[in-house]
Amino acid sequence: MRQGVRLGIDAGKVRVGVAQSDPSGLLATPVETIERESPDLLSKLQSLVVEKNVIEIVVGLPLNLSGVHTPSTENAIELAHAIASTTDVPVRMIDERLTTVSAHAALRQSGKKQRGTRSVIDQVAAVMVLQHALDSERATGALPGIAVEDL
């Protein structure tokens, strides 16, 4: 398992959830939610890369249940390319089917009300995306997902 902090991104149409790993790459935790249309989105992400000495960014790749691209898939790929163009850190995409649904379920099980939790849901989804990538790398020894330049 490579050492170093990774960022996880849940690329929604309205909000972008951000998570980070610990330096050993074992555990993902929430960082923040950024409005998708914020003019500072890419600069905020770049600041996090520098501040946290990030070695990789993992963006969720939303596919439908049969693995086919959707409009959300294209939206996430577009954001991943934009992020890659503003940083020297590798950007990878990993299948994120059902992470937002799972995030909603996790918040319900924890007793959180749905009202007012939208930004939290985006962060939880980002945690799930990143944790999946970390677990995949640990289990296989291979880099998680697909490099954005290969899409």
Condensed to tens digits (0 to 9), the pLDDT of residues 46-91 reads 999 999 999 999 999 998 777 778 888 999 999 999 999 999 999 9
Q: Are 121 and 100 in contact (CB under 8 A)?
A: yes
Q: What percent of the chain has pLDDT over 90?
A: 72
Q: Beta 91-95 vs 54-61: how paired, if at all?
A: parallel
70-109 exposure pattern, b = at least 16 Cβ within 10 A, e = fewer: eebbeebbebbeebbeebebbbbbbbbeebbeebbeebee
* Cβ-based neighbour number of residue 115 at 10 Å: 6
Q: What are phi and psi of 3, to 5 degrees?
A: -90, 145
Greater model confidence, 151 or 8: 8
Instruction: Give the CA distances from residue 20 to residues 23, 26, 63, 78, 110, in Å, rounded to whole numbers and listed in that order.
Output: 9, 10, 23, 21, 21
In contact, 144 and 133? CB cutoff 8 Å: yes
Q: Report the candidate in 45, 43, 53 with the shortest Cα–Cα distance to residue 16.
A: 45
CA nearest to 94, candidates 132, 42, 67, 137: 132
Q: Which position has the higher pLDDT, 109 or 2?
A: 2
Task: With cut-offs at 50, 70 and 90, classify the pLDDT of residue 4.
Answer: very high
> In the predicted model, is pLDDT for residue 28 greater than 80?
yes
Mean pLDDT of 111-134: 80
pLDDT category at 100 given cuts 50, 70, 90 is low
Report whether 45 contacts 5 (CB < 8 A).
no
pTM: 0.88
Q: What is the pLDDT of residue 104?
A: 52
**Residues in the chain, overall count:** 151
CA geometry: angle at 141 spanning 123 and 75, to 5°?
35
